[in-house]
Amino acid sequence: MKKQKVDVIIVGTGAAGLFCALQFPEEINILIITKETVEDSDSFLAQGGICVLKDEDDYEAYFEDTMKAGHYENNKESVELMIRRSQEIIGDLISYGVDFEQENGQLLYTREGAHSTSRILYHEDLTGKEITGKLFQRVKERKNIEIREYTTMIDLICKNNTCYGIIAKESNDHVEAILADYVIFACGGVGGLFEHSTNFPHLTGDALAISLKNHIALKDIHYIQIHPTTLYSKKEGRRFLISESVRGEGAKLYDKHMNRFVNELLPRDVLTEEIRKQMKKDETEFVWLSMVDLGEQVITKRFPNIFKKCMEEGYDPRKECIPVTPAQHYFMGGVKVDIDSKTTMEHLYAIGETSCNGVHGANRLASNSLLESLVFAKIAAGKIKEEWETLYLDEEVDLTQYEDLNELEEEYKKMVLKEMERMRKHG
């Protein structure tokens, strides 16, 4: 069994993982692994945009919007840190080549549900792809960063509550030990555990199961966000998101009798509940969303990806309503971390959707996800550089326990679902 040593391992190639890698100097040797291809992360799927504090006058409103959406269960320190560092992060992204919509040299802002004003930067309806794609380009330019696709973390190498690396499985089921001075979880969400989700199906909460196995604290993993408007389809597989920005721009929701029944800009959890009540009342599997009043220019230019998908499914949003239904979308809980993204195990950090620093509370405010991921990814890298300590593991790593990988993967899924249910009942 081969064994290698790197300085830092990052598990995941979404926005958090890629951005974090870029924060390290080029003398730091970094390995990034991902279960599928680099593009198969939920960050690439994000449509709506990324929040930013436009000016000091908006601080209190932005803070309150985030807290209110999270039912005031948010960690106030995390929320303040995210908002205060948002302009810095946007500056970083622009320096990496990210192209946000502008008019006459000024950034344009849109609005989504539960926001009291427009404070969301965007790129068409493909903001996640624009940001993550540009980060990927910058990562590929770095000689110190290696990306290994089709490689799955199946366990940690740890001793005395210190992380020394990971156990990884390659596409041919070869298992190897990879040692590192620091490991960073950036593994994404848990949509693969649900029948209907906007997430990629391979995102099954591996970091949560591995944390449970190794006695690393988790937080609020029963807080699962359902997106109220995904395109209804009887086809199997991932659900297609109809961005909240569509409603932010003025799209309306209708029941089966074509009557409006709700304020379209309610927080996601509240709107989801209203849609489900209406579906039950109407005895339908969806409600109708109308983009018609937005006009052809907005529909085709502002939301080209959504327009294309609707047309492929047989709906012309320029002329008719489209059917939408709620589906699992985002994960507010995760591996418990402090304000520096440190887990309860030494030399192990967690960032992005797989972590929980309390910033989202019980329900995420729209378009805070990309911002939160990037802010705390940068903080994590900064803390690691500040406290750098080289590790040495003298003993051999036992790989014999990982022979039945299919059984292990199923066991991990059951562990996570069981713990979610336990937290839901007991908190």
Catalytic residues, by residue number, are 268
Separation of alpha carbons 290 and 324, rounded Å: 10
Non-local CB neighbours of 109 within 8 Å, separated by 6+ positions? 54, 118, 119, 120, 121
Backbone φ, ψ for residue 187 (5° rounding): -85, -5
Tell me the torsion sign for CA atoms 418, 419, 424, 427: positive
Non-local CB neighbours of 176 within 8 Å, separated by 6+ positions? 1, 2, 3, 4, 167, 168, 170, 399
Non-local CB neighbours of 281 within 8 Å, separated by 6+ positions? 255
How does DSSP classify residue 277?
Answer: H
Q: Which whole-number Å values give the CA distances from 275 to 216, 247, 317, in the listed order?
A: 37, 14, 20
Backbone φ, ψ for residue 229 (5° rounding): -130, 95
Q: Single out the residue of 356, 419, 365 nearest to residue 71, CA to CA.
A: 365
Is residue 137 within 8 Å of residue 21, measured between CB atoms? no
| CA 157 centroid distance within chain | 25
Separation of alpha carbons 421 and 221, rounded Å: 9
Burial class (CB in 10 A: 0-12, 13-18, 19+), 236: exposed
**Cα angle vertex 142, ends 139, 144, to 5°?**
115
Separation of alpha carbons 102 and 200, rounded Å: 31
Which residue matches tokens 């320029």? 318
Is residue 264 within 8 Å of residue 251, measured between CB atoms? yes
**Strand residue runs (E) in 262-321:** 287-290
Say what the alpha-carbon torsion angle 178, 204, 50, 324 is, to the nearest 10 degrees.
160
**Radius of gyration (C-alpha) of the chain in whole angstroms:** 21
